[in-house]
Chain A
């Protein structure tokens, strides 16, 4: 079974600054994918970024980047140049590529201040 840990229940960040959301995971699988999702107050789940366990480069997607440290089992999300619209709950998730069952962390609430 996989375990995803997000230790920051809530964070405040100033507009235009960068913020790093921590995520660690525990798995015995060798091949897996790591995901970050955004859940705004409206409730929908928005896919942000994906990192494969065998990808050598860190994933980037616009203002989102994933700092992947495989040996430390860490997959932190960096949001650069924060915007007010980034205020939301952010979930780290992981699935092994042998069954695709996606497991989630408890989430981190980000509040962007003007």
Chain B
């Protein structure tokens, strides 16, 4: 199906474990983003990418790693999960010439619980 897909939808992991959240988009959008949503904070940008092999930090990057070897994939890795990383994670994509019409398109989110 066309669109932006996140997996898994739900994940429970233990403190100290490495976990990777996947994001795949089928539109070949240049820009991709990772956000975390916590109560009272709205959505905060973790990392973003302007194109394959180009990534940059957002507002809250500590403890996270990203890569983008292919335009369509943008995985987010928690190197050593902590309880403070319990959150809902959203992936998004956009293309500069489509933003005014379609905005940024979001995936369905991954609810991550670190125990």
> B-contacting residues of A (Cβ < 8 Å)?
1, 4, 6, 33, 35, 37, 43-45, 47, 50, 52, 91, 93, 95, 97, 99-107
Contacts and interface: CB of A to CB of B under 8 A. Distances in A.
B103 A50 contact: yes
A91 B109 CA distance: 16
Interface string B104-115: 111011000000
B88 A43 contact: yes
A60 to B, nearest CB: 13
Nearest to A89: B42
Nearest to A35: B103
Interface residues of B, number: 28
Given A33-B100, A101-B48, A107 B42 contact: yes
Given A50-B99, A107-B42, A102 B33 contact: yes
B96 interface: yes
